[in-house]
Structure 1
């Protein structure tokens, strides 16, 4: 039931913006809770990397006195990966196209992360 509701939030996120190619809800220990990933994306690998990046981001923000971590963004030549806390124990991973309008992606992702946080 909860997984279906989470998938619904991810489906809305992926459907609202043509810029979002895939998304997933990952536990902070790297387990995939729900996902709407593209064919060929390994769910376990996405989960492990998301948890590792978020953990590193948390530590970096704390060590460099930047306060509470809000998001981690990775930009590659083929697009973006955005990680946002979705409550205390989960992270929302959003994979976006390189042409993405980042402001809208951030807004939609933040809204989705808040909805996910409520469900968890």
Structure 2
């Protein structure tokens, strides 16, 4: 089984290595826990995850106040850097931190492409886990629903 976290980390490392003006790439859960991280300079992943999650949540809240479903991305710029935050599925986000020299369109393009790659890696692992679960003997499988658990218990009771 592939480990999507490790695969995502490798993908983010390759992105940071390829793009000269990109300082860091971070994948974190929507509640602010780091999942995968790569950086060309020292940035604290835990603190960054929490701040990015908060920023994107605020963007979502602002969008909802404007009768929208949520925000697509949040971008902040300071004197020396640009940060782009974008949803990566329903429960994760991607943060890219680049030097101010990195053009905003390029940064957002990288973000969208990486989200697609990350979602593909996650879906691949979920598919592999599902296939492995289906290949197990019925008594070894995790119950998918309460109904399945009840059926299994009833079957075992009848077999005794």
Task: Confirm or deny a common fold (TM above 0.5).
Answer: yes
TM-score (normalizing by structure 2): 0.70
After TM superposition, the structure 1 = structure 2 runs for residues 1-120 of structure 1, keeping only pairs within 5 Å, are: 1-120=3-122
Count of residues in correspondence between the two structures: 120
By percentage of residues, which structure has more helix?
Answer: 2
Contact 1:22 1:95 in 2 (8 A): yes
Query: 1:38 Cα shift?
Result: 4.1
Name segments (4+ residues, structure 1) moved above 3 Å.
none
Which protein has greater RCO, CA pairs closer than 8 Å, 6+ apart?
A: 1
The two structures, once aligned, show a CA RMSD in angstroms of 1.4
TM-score (normalizing by structure 1): 0.91
Contact 1:37 1:43 in 2 (8 A): no
Query: 1:19 Cα shift?
Result: 1.9
Query: 1:68 Cα shift?
Result: 3.4
By percentage of residues, which structure has more strand?
Answer: 1
Give the greater-gyration-radius structure (CA): 2
**1: CA distance between counterparts of 2:40 and 2:66?**
35
